[in-house]
Chains A and B, each alone.
Chain A
Amino acid sequence: GESVGLHLPTLSVQEGDNSIINCAYSNSASDYFIWYKQESGKGPQFIIDIRSNMDKRQGQRVTVLLNKTVKHLSLQIAATQPGDSAVYFCAETGSGGSYIPTFGRGTSLIVHP
């Protein structure tokens, strides 16, 4: 089956820097994408989502960009803080009317104070 993957397994940044986490998806029929944050010992936490009819969506300190041409999704975190250290997952869903999510493997973000 088709899958969602991440380019980098680990990303290390300094506090205050901007972070960019990337995700490639292969199912061009997916129409809804979600980013989750998972801290150690906790379940995934919804961060932001985007539908395929948009190419950018902003939240508080986070921005998701969707490039359907190259099937690429990214999460930008502005002014990264130590509390942002976690594993970040992208998920795709909505293909053929099914909203069962397919998750990427995750990127570990490490923020150094």
Chain B
Amino acid sequence: KAGVTQTPRYLIKTRGQQVTLSCSPISGHRSVSWYQQTPGQGLQFLFEYFSETQRNKGNFPGRFSGRQFSNSRSEMNVSTLELGDSALYLCASSLRELSGGEQYFGPGTRLTVT
């Protein structure tokens, strides 16, 4: 069974631009969660989508948004990029909504904002 895939793997953007990252979950998984990982803050939860609906949201500004499609693939968007948005963005999929079960992470997208 193929794992979670994320595209692109690396991205360089300029401050003020916007970016869209993509995540394809494991086949059959309906929940996709997004995380930001930085050396300073560690791994932080952004949001979770299940059946095309945002079910949970972390403490990030409205510049961070996402969506999920009917095939469970998900995208996250960051508008008006800031230097502090440079991070590894990870998505994770699971069969059910976040409920204390196992999540499977993708390799991440490394975003650099200059």
**Residue positions of A touching B, CB distance < 8 A:** 31-32, 36, 41-46, 49, 51, 89, 91, 93-94, 98-106
Determine the distance from Cα of A100 to Cα of B31 in the docked complex, in whole angstroms.
13
For this complex, 21 residue pairs linking A to B, each with C-beta atoms less than 8 Å apart, are A32-B100, A41-B107, A42-B108, A43-B90, A43-B105, A43-B107, A43-B108, A44-B43, A44-B92, A46-B103, A46-B104, A51-B100, A89-B43, A94-B100, A99-B97, A99-B100, A100-B45, A100-B48, A100-B98, A105-B42, A106-B42
Least distance between B87 CB and chain A CB atoms (Å): 13
**Residue positions of B touching A, CB distance < 8 A:** 4, 42-45, 48, 56, 58, 90, 92, 97-100, 102-108
Least distance between B51 CB and chain A CB atoms (Å): 16
Determine the distance from Cα of A105 to Cα of B40 in the docked complex, in whole angstroms.
9
Given contacts A51-B100, A99-B98, contact A43 B42 (CB under 8 A): no
Inter-chain contacts of A36 with B (CB < 8 A) = 105
Chain B residue nearest to A106 (CB atoms) is: B42
Determine the distance from Cα of A102 to Cα of B56 in the docked complex, in whole angstroms.
13
Q: Are B56 and A100 in contact (CB under 8 A)?
A: yes
Determine the distance from Cα of A89 to Cα of B105 in the docked complex, in whole angstroms.
13
Inter-chain contacts of B107 with A (CB < 8 A) = 41-43
